[in-house]
Amino acid sequence: MLRPIRTIATAAAALLLATACNSASTSDSPSGKGSSARGVTDDAIKVGGIVSMTTASGYSKKDTDLGARARYLRANDEGGVNGRKIDYVGTEDDGQDPGKNLAAARELVQRKKVFAVSPMSSVTFSGADFLQEQQVPTFGWGTVPQFCGPTYIYGFGGCMVPMPGGTITQSWPEGLADVLGGAQGRSVAILANDNDAGTFAIRTYKQGFAAAGFKVAYAKAAVPATSLPSDWTAYTKEILRSDGGKAPDVVVSVMQTPYNIGLFTAVKRAGFKGVITDPTDYDPALLAKDATKKALDGVHVLLSFEPFESDSERMKQFKADIRKAAGKNVPLNMHMMLCVIV
């Protein structure tokens, strides 16, 4: 059973988009008729997204696009932004490739002439400097440092991997401390991919777990990001001997689902009886498959949004929005949440 550590209510990118439009005060602002801003007419605001629809590991964030469509559809049904409808041109697939990410940003701005990029959901964000230079409001998961600081780039959940000296969210470490009855005397092992997102995640969470009182016995961005390991033995041996020759109390993964399934299966087979946690695998569809259900059994998943099980009016609205945009009932997942809840 998936057991969320903590639920954090969040605002949607669409709401931020409206705020960004309303707060602009220059002659290029879309807040009034006759705007000369790129992608803005008297009747519409053009928006597009950048999402990792395909990846080398098979992991996909494609449903981020459905979430965006659902939220923009509702916004338009409610009258749009400042009387303008949102003209959503869809998402560009960056394949988690830095070159494609920059190319996607250029495609949206230079050819499709969008006013804003929303959503932007990828572990690579090489297009950030270009979007900042072009003054393109951009919204997405704040899991890479490009979301920390630029004036036109806004992170869902804030700046989640700040540069040294920045503020770190303690929701995950503190949530785990609650699960364990305290952090004192408890050790953690943190594993991530060997890409920029993984490197920054290790730095951030190593600091965060230590600040919460945990002993960080292991923290490496070591797993190849472009090829899913067929054998996890080398990683599990290191992890399960990391706390002075014995296993840590907690195994923390900052990786995507295919990697988590492999790692969690391997550490369980090796006899690990401690807590396993990640921020990625809140996806009911994963429990419909025997292999993934077994791997995720008992795993604590950090949530940055209201759980699907909630019966609140906002969650009912989310489900209705997705159903309307999809034209049918579809399995829910966390990727849809980026643009939907308000």
Model-level pTM? 0.80
CA-to-CA dists, residue 234 to 112, 172, 249, 320, angstroms: 47, 26, 19, 46
> 23: burial class by Cβ within 10 Å (0-12, 13-18, 19+)?
exposed
- Reduced 3-state DSSP string for 215-268: EEEEEEEEECCCCCCCCCHHHHHHHCCCECCECCCEEEEECCHHHHHHHHHHHH
Task: Identify the pLDDT of residue 251.
Answer: 98
Task: Identify the pLDDT of residue 14.
Answer: 37
Distance CA 99, CA 88 (A): 23
Task: Identify the pLDDT of residue 86.
Answer: 97
Region of poorest pLDDT, from 12-16, 70-74, 211-215, 280-284: 12-16
**What rounded mean pLDDT belongs to the chain?**
87
Task: Identify the pLDDT of residue 197.
Answer: 84
> Any bridge partners for residue 276, and if so which?
251
3-state secondary structure of 59: coil
Task: Identify the pLDDT of residue 155.
Answer: 87
pLDDT for 6 beyond 70: no
Band (pLDDT 50/70/90 cuts) for residue 13 is very low
Band (pLDDT 50/70/90 cuts) for residue 26 is very low
Distance CA 106, CA 109 (A): 5
For residues 158 and 173, the model is more confident at 173
Q: At what angle do helices 13-23 and 63-77 cross, to 10 degrees?
A: 50
Question: What length does the chain have?
Answer: 342
DSSP state of 163: P
Among residues of the chain, what percentage have pLDDT more than 70?
86
CA-to-CA dists, residue 167 to 29, 209, 216, 284, angstroms: 31, 14, 19, 32
* pLDDT, tens digit (0-9, with 9 covering 90-100), for 31-58: 556 567 899 999 999 999 999 999 888 8
pLDDT for 19 beyond 90: no
Band (pLDDT 50/70/90 cuts) for residue 237 is very high
Helix (H) or strand (E) segment spanning residue 151: none
> Any bridge partners for residue 40, and if so which?
45
Band (pLDDT 50/70/90 cuts) for residue 229 is very high
Task: Identify the pLDDT of residue 162.
Answer: 64
pLDDT for 305 beyond 90: no
